[in-house]
Chains A and B, each alone.
Chain A
Amino acid sequence: MFYREAGQFKTSYKADQAMFPIFQDKIFVAIWLFIGFVVVPMLANEYMFRAIFIPVIIMALAAIGLNLLVGYCGQVSLGSGAFMAVGAYAAYNFMIRVPELNPLICFLLGGLSATAVGVIFGIPSLRIKGFYLAVATLALQFFTDWTFSRIDWFTNYTPSGSIAVRPVEMLGVVFDSPMKKYFLCLVFLVIFTIIGTNIVRGRIGRAWMATRDMDVAAEIIGIRPVFAKLSAFAVSSFFIGVAGALWAFVHLGSWEPLAFDINLSFSILFMVIIGGLGSIVGGMLGAAFITLLPLFLNQLPVWLGINISTAMISHLEFMIFGALIIFFLAVEPLGLARIWQITKEKLRLWPFPH
């Protein structure tokens, strides 16, 4: 009833191939943009920006990046934390070694460095698939952990090995307050989401999906597996690398190599799986779910007025979190994006079921 394409006739292929061909989708996206750019900044306080919105947005960017690789091209990777680390450390090094560079350019260069590493570590994907590839990408994770904690040049010889940065300045604005940081991250997310959506609906995206679904047939059509897989690694690493730079410079402010350890890789992969493989929206939903659920579980006893120790709360948090993930994957293995899709299909008929 409220979400249906009936009556919306397309008279050109251009209209049919628009990003959101259905009118209701356009409105929906507009509402979300309005919430993101107007409502949230008006209502949120400093804590909410710092603990909720900024991490969710940056993680959404990383999850979209990983989804391009895992969900669209079918190459499992456990190296997202490593790509984020490369993005962050590369941006840092560009910034201190070439001070005249604008931080924006440094962030993008950080992303490009992650791309280079991604292409190199994507080469094994030409020969190995599935779980074996995941293990191969794990090697990258350990390699970067080691590199950034042992080779002091990358951390500019700081004695503790941790790095602290001043608020970044871009285009004449110093991003020092949480709200400014929030806007910066949001703009990055919007731009990268548009780019990601465009890539996956075009020739490159189809080449990725074809490789994912049936690699022999893809090759016979003329898609080179080398090109498809390595370009997926390249684009995905770029997204994740930029997310890493944002995570370090905007969210953390000061960090050490442990900030990008294997746990981060796992949680990004969970975001992609829970959000929905092969869906851009899924990356965002998954990031929100994985980041917010622990916060929510943590606060729940307080809201309910139950008096239990903080240690107990944090143990319970882990248990419930784990149980929810299992429950969730059993009920809807295709992720939050699939639930969203089902909702839309139901809404076509609701409230008249026939």
Chain B
Amino acid sequence: MNDTDRKLGPTILQVEGISLAFGGVKALTNISFEVKEHEILAIIGPNGAGKSSMLNVINGVYHPNAGSITYKGNVRQQMKPHEAASQGIARTFQNIALFKGMSVLDNIMTGRTLKMNAGFLAQCLYIGSARNEEIEHRKKVEEIIDFLQIQSIRKTPVGRLPYGLQKRVELGRALAAEPELLLLDEPMAGMNIEEKEDMSRFILDVNDEFGTTIVLIEHDMGVVMDLSDRIVVLDYGKKIGDGTPTEIRNNKEVIDAYLGVSD
């Protein structure tokens, strides 16, 4: 995979001069980068480099102390979570954040919350718009279930599923919102080789078939180098590299900080 054989669109997300501090701890310092439409961007860096914080800033869980976020042409100082969601930003979490008491189907249906608008009374009586809406969205959800090949577990409570499948369901929940920008926080953490291959395939397919822009955090260098069009490297809250996999591989500073000091 490289960026020459795929068409990248204009910039969809641009973060500029983002700084974030928790009390005296500086999580992010003056981070700027941009994401182009239809791109797969990886954010890498050692533990505590501020990768997850960066995603949290993008979809509004954290509010940065300085800097701006430009998403689809709108400049913002900070995002709010539901605002980010309604504008097509979805994400998954490093530690699975599924709704444990609900079935796979319900979890993914929840992902479509913002697309549903039946009135309260109709929902109480399960008539008219409420029922049609449930059925119509169920169809969409079943498409996602098919796509992720989890048909057999659709009625299982997610708490009973093995880890790899939970990760897959979480991706499904994010996809259900039909996002334009998908943030994946370590989608392959703790997986074995086969599961990683499956997940990589799903990520590439999402990017290909739905044209979704993807920002992902990952520690497995092989996966990162193979999947991503571009890589941003963070270290101690600062950006130390930004470029294609090949460029990053040969970046002296990155090698020093991340891959080990070269002799």
Partner-B contacts on A (CB < 8 A): 12-14, 16-17, 19, 194-195, 198-199, 201-204, 206-207, 209-210, 212-214, 216-224, 278
**Is A209 within 8 A of B111, CB to CB?**
no
List 7 A-B pairs, minimum CB-CB distance, nearest first.
A222-B85, A217-B97, A213-B99, A222-B114, A198-B126, A219-B81, A13-B138
10 pairs, CB–CB < 8 Å, chain A vs chain B: A12-B135, A202-B123, A209-B110, A212-B101, A213-B102, A218-B99, A220-B84, A221-B90, A222-B86, A223-B110
- Which chain B residues lie closer than 8 Å to A201 at the CB level? 126
Query: Roughly how many angstroms separate A220 CA and B134 CA in the complex, as a whole number?
Result: 21
Query: Roughly how many angstroms separate A214 CA and B98 CA in the complex, as a whole number?
Result: 7
- Max count, chain A CB within 10 A of own CB: residue among B59, B84, B124: B124
Select which of A12, A13, A203 is within 8 A of B113 by beta carbon: A203
Query: Roughly how many angstroms separate A203 CA and B102 CA in the complex, as a whole number?
Result: 13
B33-63 at interface with A (beta carbon < 8 Å): 59, 61
Which A residue's beta carbon lies closest to that of B173?
A221
- Which chain B residues lie closer than 8 Å to A19 at the CB level? 126
Contact flag A221-B113 (CB < 8 Å), given A202-B134, A214-B97: yes
- Which chain A residues lie closer than 8 Å to B177 at the CB level? 221-222
Which B residue's beta carbon lies closest to that of A209?
B102
> At the interface, is chain B mostly helix, strand, loop or mixed?
helix
**Is B124 within 8 A of A195, CB to CB?**
yes
Contact flag A209-B101 (CB < 8 Å), given A220-B91, A222-B114: yes
Select which of A17, A212, A222 is within 8 A of B138 by beta carbon: A17
Query: Roughly how many angstroms separate A222 CA and B81 CA in the complex, as a whole number?
Result: 7
B183 shortest CB reach to chain A, Å: 9
**Is A217 within 8 A of B93, CB to CB?**
yes
Query: Roughly how many angstroms separate A198 CA and B99 CA in the complex, as a whole number?
Result: 20
Write out, one digit per residue, whether chain B residues 97-130 have a CB within 8 A of any chain A CB (1) or not (0). Answer: 1111110001001110110101010011110001
**Is B82 within 8 A of A223, CB to CB?**
yes
Query: Roughly how many angstroms separate A297 CA and B98 CA in the complex, as a whole number?
Result: 44
B139 within 8 A of A: yes
Contact flag A203-B85 (CB < 8 Å), given A17-B134, A17-B135, A198-B125: no
- Which chain A residues lie closer than 8 Å to B16 at the CB level? none
Query: Roughly how many angstroms separate A16 CA and B142 CA in the complex, as a whole number?
Result: 12
Select which of B109, B124, B138 is within 8 A of A198 by beta carbon: B124
- Which chain B residues lie closer than 8 Å to A219 at the CB level? 61, 81-82
Query: Roughly how many angstroms separate A86 CA and B131 CA in the complex, as a whole number?
Result: 33
Query: Roughly how many angstroms separate A216 CA and B125 CA in the complex, as a whole number?
Result: 30
**Is B123 within 8 A of A204, CB to CB?**
yes
- Which chain A residues lie closer than 8 Å to B118 at the CB level? 202-203
Which B residue's beta carbon lies closest to that of A231?
B120
**Is B114 within 8 A of A204, CB to CB?**
no
- Which chain A residues lie closer than 8 Å to B123 at the CB level? 198-199, 202-204
Query: Roughly how many angstroms separate A121 CA and B246 CA in the complex, as a whole number?
Result: 59
Contact flag A221-B100 (CB < 8 Å), given A198-B124, A206-B106: no
B263 shortest CB reach to chain A, Å: 44
- Which chain B residues lie closer than 8 Å to A194 at the CB level? 125
Query: Roughly how many angstroms separate A219 CA and B100 CA in the complex, as a whole number?
Result: 16
Write out, one digit per residue, whether chain B residues 123-160 have a CB within 8 A of any chain A CB (1) or not (0). Answer: 11110001101110011001000000000000000000
**Is A209 within 8 A of B116, CB to CB?**
no
Select which of B99, B124, B133 is within 8 A of A210 by beta carbon: B99
A234 shortest CB reach to chain B, Å: 10
Query: Roughly how many angstroms separate A84 CA and B258 CA in the complex, as a whole number?
Result: 62
- Which chain A residues lie closer than 8 Å to B97 at the CB level? 214, 216-217
Which B residue's beta carbon lies closest to that of A223?
B113
Which A residue's beta carbon lies closest to that of B135?
A13
- Max count, chain B CB within 10 A of own CB: residue among A199, A203, A214, A223: A203
Which A residue's beta carbon lies closest to that of B81?
A219
Query: Roughly how many angstroms separate A217 CA and B124 CA in the complex, as a whole number?
Result: 25
Query: Roughly how many angstroms separate A204 CA and B113 CA in the complex, as a whole number?
Result: 9
A161 shortest CB reach to chain B, Å: 36
- Which chain A residues lie closer than 8 Å to B116 at the CB level? 203
Select which of A14, A195, A216, A221 is within 8 A of B114 by beta carbon: A221
- Which chain B residues lie closer than 8 Å to A223 at the CB level? 82, 110, 113
- Which chain B residues lie closer than 8 Å to A216 at the CB level? 61, 97
- Extra inter-chain contacts (10) besides given A13-B135, A220-B84, CB under 8 Å: A194-B125, A199-B123, A202-B126, A203-B118, A203-B133, A206-B106, A209-B102, A214-B99, A222-B85, A224-B82
